[in-house]
Structure 1
């Protein structure tokens, strides 16, 4: 099965009855370095707060530190996930045997979600105004998000194809749509 490139981040392979699309999470090296710097600074700030927590005996101050550290840990987890995904993550979209499989991988670890093609409705492109705050946030390299395609599955919208350009998004949309139509499934 020959692999074809749609962009430096997106490749696909196709044969009768099977389509596989791979979207890499890579970013430029300088952006990755900035993300690492931010992550290290965040670790340092958390370490300072933890050391102050351990030094104090004031109960009210300890409560403030605990509340701060809960938020700190949450954002540490978010940025750590982004960093790991940008270093070696990818998104796999596969259609085979009447099933659409989506997998977001962090290196080799990731959970696959499968969807029966017969039950997918409202397959569409996600269009956001380029001047909106949501567009700029979702397409930032410092977040996991910016999905460009979606469909309805049992009343829930499933979004995928993170942070690809609009021309590539349109090509991916057509590849998936053609494969669904070949399988004889109606997409509303």
Structure 2
């Protein structure tokens, strides 16, 4: 096994490549995110508890709208914490296919792509307006894809919040192994 960084490791042989990218290595930030989640949950729970004490219908409607927003952000923060704590991206190039999985404690959907139809493996250039882009790269969100490739007509993004050095090394490895596996697939 070759370690590229404290988050990224690679296992390779003649034909196959396996890359594991851990979501986060910063325990301090993970603990702060958990504290935020707990505080958010307690505050929302208190508002929900008090909702049942309300008598004014207009106040009940306003509180229900607030609870809907609260639930959305509760879900977003919980999902981000779970990803940062337990998540990893698993990328494998094997038998003429590239497969990807965003794994959280063994769960996740595996997406497979035929290596013959993969092209333009590169650093992802986000064309989102500046403030939206920055919002997606914050620690409390799941986002900030660093790499992408074309598969048929789609752009596939992956590699959350990688450094420039990590991105460069992974691009080189992926280009080599995808090209080799595409050739193997054509021979069969």
Residue 135 of structure 1: how far off its partner (Å): 5.4
Residue 183 of structure 1: how far off its partner (Å): 2.3
Match of 2:36 in 1: 38
Residue 128 of structure 1: how far off its partner (Å): 6.0
Contact 1:92 1:102 in 2 (8 A): yes
Q: Distance in 1 between matches of 2:126 and 2:113?
A: 25
Q: Distance in 2 between matches of 1:121 and 1:34?
A: 40
SS of structure 2 residue aligned to 1:183 = helix
Match of 1:81 in 2: 79
Q: Distance in 2 between matches of 1:128 and 1:99?
A: 26
Q: Distance in 1 between matches of 2:117 and 2:46?
A: 52
TM-score of the two chains, using structure 1 as the length reference: 0.88
Task: Kindly indicate whether residue 158 of structure 2 is the aligned counterpart of residue 176 of structure 1.
Answer: no
Task: Kindly indicate whether residue 156 of structure 2 is the aligned counterpart of residue 163 of structure 1.
Answer: no
SS of structure 1 residue aligned to 2:109 = strand
SS of structure 2 residue aligned to 1:26 = coil
**Which stretches of structure 1, 4 residues or more, deviate above 6 A after TM superposition?**
none
Q: Distance in 2 between matches of 1:82 and 1:90?
A: 12
SS of structure 1 residue aligned to 2:10 = strand
Residue 105 of structure 1: how far off its partner (Å): 1.0
Q: Distance in 1 between matches of 2:138 and 2:77?
A: 13
Q: Distance in 2 between matches of 1:178 and 1:18?
A: 10
Match of 1:147 in 2: 145
Residue 59 of structure 1: how far off its partner (Å): 2.1
Instruction: Between 99-108 and 56-65, report the one with greater CA deviation.
Output: 56-65
Q: Distance in 1 between matches of 2:90 and 2:16?
A: 13
Residue 108 of structure 1: how far off its partner (Å): 1.4
- 1:103-114 correspondence runs (5 A): 103-114=101-112
Structure 2's unaligned 5+ residue stretches are 184-188
Instruction: Between 59-68 and 8-17, report the one with greater CA deviation.
Output: 59-68
Residue 145 of structure 1: how far off its partner (Å): 0.9
